[in-house]
């Protein structure tokens, strides 16, 4: 069965590593839903979080292929255990003085905030898992979404479990 999987990879912090990882996905015909990268807790290593889809054998093959890359230190599947996964979205919606208040009320339960107010637009910032962001985007779309920027998912395991160097 096709399923979404969240994979955490520790890689050498070196030019070209993102290209190698992305290239591999393309070469082997694996889907990338999102890919994020940033420094990790360990000097010299970056952490990549990849969200991908596929059945069990595909997932196993993806992880093994990542492991083969010389710049990859460790590959772990986050989504088979409790994890926290978040993305951040910046949503520019059309808003006039007449409906700003309405929007403000609407986004409140999402703990989203307004980070920029223009004459005809608002920029709303929201963090949460992918479903929450999707829900907010849907809710705001009747107002007219001018621009949408999402970071893609980053994630971490809950509790003591750690994907460490």
**Which residues sit at the interface with other proteins, rule CB under 8 A?**
11-12, 15-16, 19-20, 23-24, 27, 57, 60-61, 64-65, 67-73
| Cβ nearer to other proteins, comparing 18 with 135 | 18
Contacts of 58 (CB under 8 A, 6+ apart): 30
| Cβ nearer to other proteins, comparing 65 with 151 | 65
Annotate 77-116 with b (16+ C-beta within 10 A) or e (fewer).
bbbeeebebbbebebbbebeeeeeeebeebbeebebeeee
| Cβ nearer to other proteins, comparing 70 with 160 | 70
| Cβ nearer to other proteins, comparing 9 with 103 | 9
Q: Alpha helices, DSSP H only, in the chain?
A: 17-27, 56-68, 100-107, 130-140
Q: Min. distance of Cβ 23 from other proteins in angstroms?
A: 5
Assign 3-class secondary structure to 69-104: CCCEEEEEECCCCCEEEEEEEEEEEECCCCCHHHHH
Q: Min. distance of Cβ 61 from other proteins in angstroms?
A: 6
Q: Min. distance of Cβ 106 from other proteins in angstroms?
A: 46
Q: Min. distance of Cβ 162 from other proteins in angstroms?
A: 17
């Amino acid at each position: 069965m096709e399923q979404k999987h969240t994979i955490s990879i520790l890689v050498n912090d070196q030019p070209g590593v993102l290209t190698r990882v992305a290239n591999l996905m393309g070469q082997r015909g694996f889907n990338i839903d999102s890919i994020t990268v940033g420094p990790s807790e360990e000097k010299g290593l970056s952490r990549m979080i990849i969200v991908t889809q596929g059945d069990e054998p595909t997932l196993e093959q993806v992880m093994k292929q990542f492991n083969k890359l010389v710049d990859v230190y460790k590959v772990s599947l986050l989504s088979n255990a409790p994890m926290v996964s978040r993305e951040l979205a910046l949503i520019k919606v059309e808003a006039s003085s007449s409906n700003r208040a309405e929007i403000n009320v609407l986004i409140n339960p999402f703990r989203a905030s307004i980070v920029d107010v223009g004459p005809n637009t608002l920029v709303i910032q929201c963090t949460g898992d992918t479903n929450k962001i999707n829900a907010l985007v849907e809710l705001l779309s009747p107002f007219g979404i001018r621009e949408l920027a999402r970071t893609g998912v980053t994630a971490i395991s809950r509790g003591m479990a750690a994907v460490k160097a």
